[in-house]
């Protein structure tokens, strides 16, 4: 029939006069539509044919067709034909056809957009009521809310994005469609994993396309910022938990189980995640207008409050995740509560871990993209030719302000320190603090460096100005102290378990503390020696903390070597074949001493006391030959520097501090060693006639 009308448009009047056109409209617009993919997709073309003349168009409008037509997107029986198969999406095809209908009959645009907005409002109403209905048999039937969202957003996308013009999109925004669409992300009964669903991504993609089409209209960004601010303020009690003495997520879960109430905090976190995902999509728009809008909004009063609250939320999520992970792995529950860590409970708390982990990942991505927005001239780096100078970017005042607030999350994470807490032991507090440091470092690297390890200079500047770098070195110092192991207590622990597999117990996992100590010492030693080498090559990293950090490293190295002596004794009592594995560290110690340790002493003379302790430990650990070889190195240095000093004095050349300190450091080191190993030092002093050198130097100075 439609083919007949389209081929012979003049025949439409004949059909209208016979009443066939009215019957067709009545069947399609008043009766239930057949559940047929082909019929649904062809409906807009049918209506287009019936509206080819004014009489048909007027009659079509009288039926108020679109409210009834769009209802199929909220009826479960039509879902099977809406499911996307390959590249064939019924909702999208239907939307594209509606767009074509509007293009032919522009007067239909207003009722189409209004009906779409009404459809969204009905969807939101469903999502804000109990997400299930009672059937006639009193059986509760779940509403496929997520499927409805996916199909409706595909419909809107088909109508708005089917061509390059933005007229449909502008009309959608003008009539309030943006606000209605945005309400989808805040529906009360969305599943907690909604932000990771295809439905949420469809809503976000639609919002992004609308923003791209209407860049000068900042309503969408303002709406996201304002709503996010409101949600974060409602979560203040969650992320303002300074004592960290309980898990609010677990407490809420406990109440919801006992009182059959909802998990409000969890769902609000899910809504925050949806908003962050939307902001992430905005950050990925390469147009400078969007970039400037976003940074300007985030640098105003509301934006600053949002970023500061997100910083607090980041730290709270680290704490919550650490508790949830410990429960999921059957570790000791660090919170005193009535919940048991059985399999049912673990299955129950996994949604909490899922939401907090996914939100943390989204926040990390959002911060990284914001850094690029603030610290670079554009999102994609320009490839430079050889010797071509890089473009110097001058950040705006707004970008600098946003960058300074982003850095605060790193400073707070690295400065995290929990005071004595009645619910947590000292070991648990230390473990939690270390967790904060690890998570913060993971957060910091992409905020300071791009994927090619090029630093964002604006972020490095803020990193230093905010004293975050000081917090980093303080955290490093504390971590190095934490690494110290009490070898004796580990080897003699009263809580030992089997060291060998027992054939009669298949589930027995052996644990040998000796193997554990050997591996831990090796890994720690490599870590610390590599750290020394890096810090030596890049002294600017140390700044005011140099002596303090190196002293800590030297103390731990001494501790490790002392532990090696105890380990060797234990090995002799057990298995000789492990001797080779342990002695490898001695060779590494020798290489470390010869390559870097004396350079550190020259650069940082205040480390000499810790250095002498380490050297004495190594001497006691090795044979007399090693001691003599090392003392030979020191005395050769003294002789060389003495001859240089005398030569300069004879030429009446003024000595600089470096030349003075080299000789002074070696002499002071020998004096410190003399107290502990007098005989080897006395022998080498006699061999090199060191007393004569000193006497001549004193005599020279006296004259």
Residue 132 or residue 436, greater confidence:
436
CA–CA separation, 334 vs 326, rounded Å?
Answer: 8
Dihedral (CA of 424, 426, 428, 433) sign: positive
DSSP annotation of 88: B
| 416, 541: one domain | no
If asked whether residues 257 and 183 sit together in one domain, one would say: no
Is residue 526 one of the residues assigned to a domain? Answer: yes
d(CA 572, CA 574): 5
CA distance 89 to 82: 7
pLDDT more than 90, % of the chain = 21
509, 448 in Cβ contact below 8 A?
Answer: no
Q: Is residue 5 part of a domain?
A: yes
Residue 109 in this model has a pLDDT that exceeds 60: yes
In this prediction, residue 432 has a pLDDT band, given cuts at 50, 70 and 90, of confident
Stronger pLDDT, 489 or 252, i.e. the higher one: 252
The mean pLDDT value for 11-26 works out to 72
DSSP for 437-482?
HHHHHHHHHHHHB-TT--B-HHHHHHHHHTTHHHHHHHHHHHHHHH
Asked whether 94 and 43 are in contact (CB, 8 A), the reply is yes
Are residues 678 and 601 part of one domain?
no
Residues 592 and 687 in one domain: no
Give the separation between CA 95 and CA 110, rounded to whole angstroms: 15
Same domain, 661 and 576: no
**Whole-number Å distance between alpha carbons of 160 and 416:** 49
The neighbouring-strand residues paired with 142 are 132
CA distance linking residue 613 with residue 673, whole number of Å: 9
What CA–CA distance (Å, rounded) separates 409 from 401? 14
Question: At residue 422, what are phi and psi to the nearest 5 degrees?
Answer: -65, -25
Asked whether the predicted pLDDT for residue 485 surpasses 60, the reply is yes
What pLDDT, on a 0 to 100 scale, did the predictor assign at position 332? 44
Is 683 within the bounds of a domain?
A: yes
**Alpha carbon distance 500, 491 (integer Å):** 16
For Cα atoms 134, 135, 139, give the angle at the middle one, nearest 5 degrees: 70
Same domain, 172 and 54: yes
Sign of CA dihedral 442, 444, 450, 454: negative
Please name every residue paired with 141 in a beta bridge, in sequence order, or none if there are none: 133
Mean pLDDT across the chain: 79
What confidence category does residue 578 fall into, taking pLDDT thresholds of 50, 70 and 90? very low
Confidence of residue 494 (pLDDT cuts 50, 70, 90): low
Q: Are residues 603 and 628 in the same domain?
A: no
Last residue of a domain, one of 594, 622, 650: 622
Residue 386 inside a domain? The answer is no
Residue ending a domain, among 483, 508, 537, is 483
In 3D, which of 192, 184, 44 has the Cα closest to residue 126? 184
| Residue 140 bridge partners (DSSP) | 134
Q: Is 388 helix (H, G, I), strand (E, B) or coil?
A: coil
Is residue 143 in some structural domain? yes
Q: What tens digit of pLDDT does each residue of 629-680 get?
A: 888 888 888 888 888 877 777 776 655 555 566 778 888 888 899 988 999 8
* Cβ proximity of 164 and 246 under 8 Å: no
Number of domains in the chain: 4
Check if the beta carbon of residue 297 is closer than 8 Å to that of residue 225. Answer: yes
In this structure, the answer to whether residues 316 and 402 fall within a common structural domain is: yes
Instruction: Tell me the mean pLDDT in the region 682-698.
Output: 82
Of 483, 502, 535, the residue at which a domain comes to its end is 483
Neighbour count for residue 26 (Cβ, 10 Å): 12
* 118 in any annotated domain: yes
Question: Do the Cβ atoms of 63 and 112 come closer than 8 Å?
Answer: no
Q: What is the band of 120 on the pLDDT scale with cuts at 50, 70, 90?
A: very high
Residue 255 pLDDT exceeds 80:
yes
State the pLDDT at residue 339. 47
Verify that 580 and 651 share a domain, yes or no.
no
Please report which confidence band the pLDDT of residue 274 belongs to, taking 50, 70 and 90 as the band edges: very high
Angle separating helix axes 608-621 and 624-650, nearest 10 degrees:
140
pLDDT at 524 exceeding the cut of 80: no
Do 229 and 164 share a structural domain? Answer: no
Q: How many residues are recorded in the chain?
A: 703
In a domain, 399, yes or no: yes
SS3 142: strand
More confident residue, 446 or 618: 446
**Domain around 561:** 518-622
Question: How far, in Å, CA of 518 to CA of 501, rounded?
Answer: 20
Q: Are residues 633 and 607 in the same domain?
A: no
Judge whether 547 lies within some domain.
yes
Residues 668 and 610 in one domain: no
């Amino acid at each position: 029939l439609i083919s007949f009308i389209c081929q012979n448009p003049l025949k439409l009047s004949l059909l209208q006069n016979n009443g066939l056109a009215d019957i067709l409209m009545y069947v399609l617009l008043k009766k239930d539509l057949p559940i047929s993919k082909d019929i649904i997709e062809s409906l807009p073309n049918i209506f287009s044919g019936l509206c080819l003349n004014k009489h048909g168009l007027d009659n079509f409008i009288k039926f108020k067709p679109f409210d009834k037509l769009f209802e199929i997107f909220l009826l479960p029986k039509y879902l099977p034909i809406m499911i996307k198969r390959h590249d064939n999406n019924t909702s999208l095809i239907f939307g594209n056809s509606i767009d074509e209908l509007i293009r032919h009959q522009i007067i239909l645009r207003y009722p189409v957009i209004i009906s779409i907005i009404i459809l969204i409002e009905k969807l939101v109403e469903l999502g804000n009521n109990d997400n299930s209905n009672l059937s006639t048999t009193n059986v509760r039937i779940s509403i496929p809310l997520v499927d409805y969202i996916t199909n409706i957003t595909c419909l809107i996308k088909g109508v708005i994005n089917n061509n390059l013009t933005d007229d449909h999109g502008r009309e959608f925004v003008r009539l309030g469609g943006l606000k209605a669409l945005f309400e989808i992300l805040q529906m009360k009964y969305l599943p907690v994993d909604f932000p990771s669903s295809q439905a949420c991504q469809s809503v976000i993609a639609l919002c992004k396309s609308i923003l791209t089409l209407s860049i000068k209209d900042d309503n969408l960004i303002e709406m996201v910022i304002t709503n996010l601010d409101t949600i974060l303020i409602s979560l203040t009690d969650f992320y303002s938990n300074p004592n960290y003495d309980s898990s609010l997520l677990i407490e809420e879960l406990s109440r919801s189980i006992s009182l059959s109430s909802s998990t409000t905090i969890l769902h609000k976190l899910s809504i925050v995640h949806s908003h962050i995902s939307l902001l992430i999509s905005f950050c990925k728009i390469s147009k400078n207008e969007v970039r400037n809008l976003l940074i300007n909004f985030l640098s105003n009063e509301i934006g600053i409050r949002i970023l500061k609250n997100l910083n607090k939320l980041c730290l709270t999520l680290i704490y919550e995740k650490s508790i949830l992970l410990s429960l999921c792995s059957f570790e000791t529950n660090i919170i005193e509560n009535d919940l048991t860590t059985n399999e049912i409970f673990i299955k129950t708390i996994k949604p909490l871990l899922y939401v907090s982990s996914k939100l943390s990942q989204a926040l990390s991505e959002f911060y990284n993209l914001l850094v690029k927005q603030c610290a670079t001239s554009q999102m994609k780096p320009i490839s430079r030719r050889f010797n071509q100078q890089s473009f110097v970017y001058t950040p705006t005042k707004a970008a600098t302000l946003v960058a300074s607030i982003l850095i605060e999350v790193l400073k707070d994470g690295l400065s995290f320190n929990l005071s004595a807490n009645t619910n947590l032991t000292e070991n648990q507090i230390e473990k939690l603090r270390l967790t904060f440091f690890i998570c913060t470092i993971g957060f910091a690297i992409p905020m300071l460096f791009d994927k090619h390890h090029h630093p964002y200079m604006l972020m490095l500047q803020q990193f230093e100005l905010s004293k975050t770098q000081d917090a980093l070195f303080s955290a490093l110092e504390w971590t190095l102290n934490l690494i110290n192991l009490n070898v004796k207590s580990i080897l003699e622990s009263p809580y030992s378990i089997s060291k060998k597999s027992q054939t009669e117990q298949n589930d027995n996992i052996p644990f040998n503390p000796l193997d554990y100590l050997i591996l831990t010492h090796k890994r720690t030693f490599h870590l610390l020696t590599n750290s020394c080498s890096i810090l030596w090559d890049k002294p600017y990293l140390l700044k005011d903390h140099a002596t303090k950090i190196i002293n800590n490293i030297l103390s731990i190295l001494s501790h490790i070597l002392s532990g090696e002596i105890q380990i060797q004794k234990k090995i002799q009592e057990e298995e000789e074949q492990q001797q080779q594995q342990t002695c490898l560290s001695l060779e590494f110690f020798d290489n470390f001493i010869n390559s870097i340790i004396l350079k550190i002493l020259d650069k940082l003379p205040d480390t000499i006391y810790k250095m002498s302790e380490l050297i004495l430990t190594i001497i006691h650990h090795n044979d007399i030959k090693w001691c003599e070889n090392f003392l030979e190195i020191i005395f050769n240095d003294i002789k060389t520097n003495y001859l240089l000093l005398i030569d300069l004095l004879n030429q009446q050349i003024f000595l600089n501090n470096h030349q003075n300190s080299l000789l002074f450091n070696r002499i002071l080191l020998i004096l410190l060693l003399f107290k502990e190993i007098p005989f080897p030092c006395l022998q080498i002093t006699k061999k090199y006639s060191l007393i004569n050198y000193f006497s001549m130097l004193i005599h020279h100075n006296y004259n």
